[in-house]
Structure 1
Amino acid sequence: MAKITANYEVVYVLDPAQGEEAIAAQVANFKSLAEQNGSDVVVEEWGNRKLAYPINYKTEGYYVLMTFVSGPAFPRELDRKLRIAEGVMRSLIVCKGE
């Protein structure tokens, strides 16, 4: 039988130059998107941290960890939205299993 839902974990890095309000709006936007398409959404904001290597000449980023349970179609859509969103420097979605 095919797997219907799975646990996913996404870490994304936002550009801290946007300002606190823009960062909070983006975090809330991605959280509401996950709540609409999945369940058990938990958001952990790690805050500003030094990057391992410069990205577009920036040495710091605002890290956010989000976990959720959903079907396999939503992570693909979330990845697409993270790639086109203004201010998202990097993102990674990992399936943690059932």
Structure 2
Amino acid sequence: MEKIQNSYETVLVISLKLGDEGVAAMVQKFKDLIEANATLESVDEWGKRRLAYLINKEAEAYYVLYNFKSDAEFPAELDRIYKITDGILRSLIIKKEA
């Protein structure tokens, strides 16, 4: 039986303490991870934005939006990886309605 593919979007807030190369590497790392486990539809780099409040004493961060389709198990694993990765200030994964 074929697994049901759901549409998801995830937003990453990446620390600027990583530097330009570190931020670019982080964006590419998660792009590769999503492509390996799901169908990546788009990557929208919002760039450097001011935060509404300080997170770890940082006032600015780098935002990236990924849209992808996967089975129901992958977003939980992706969230787990976000939580253990240094340099990720915040993350959000949302299941989009069909």
Answer whether TM exceeds 0.5 for this pair.
yes
Q: Distance in 1 between matches of 2:42 and 2:92?
A: 16
**Runs of 5+ consecutive residues of structure 2 not aligned to the other structure:** none
Q: Deviations over 1:31-77 (max 9, x none)?
A: 01111111133111111100011101111010000000000111001
RMSD of aligned alpha carbons? 1.1
The residue correspondences of 1:1-98 to structure 2 (distance < 5 A) are 4-98=4-98
Q: Structure 1 segments of 4 or more deviating over 6 A?
A: none
Residue 79 of structure 1 and its aligned partner are, at CA, apart by: 0.3
Check conservation: 1:34, 1:41, Cα contact below 8 A.
no
Q: Distance in 2 between matches of 1:59 and 1:6?
A: 34
- Which letter does structure 1 place at the counterpart of 2:31? K
State the TM-score, normalizing by the size of structure 2: 0.93
Q: Secondary structure at the match of 1:75?
A: helix
What percentage of residue pairs aligned between the two structures are identical?
48
State the TM-score, normalizing by the size of structure 1: 0.93
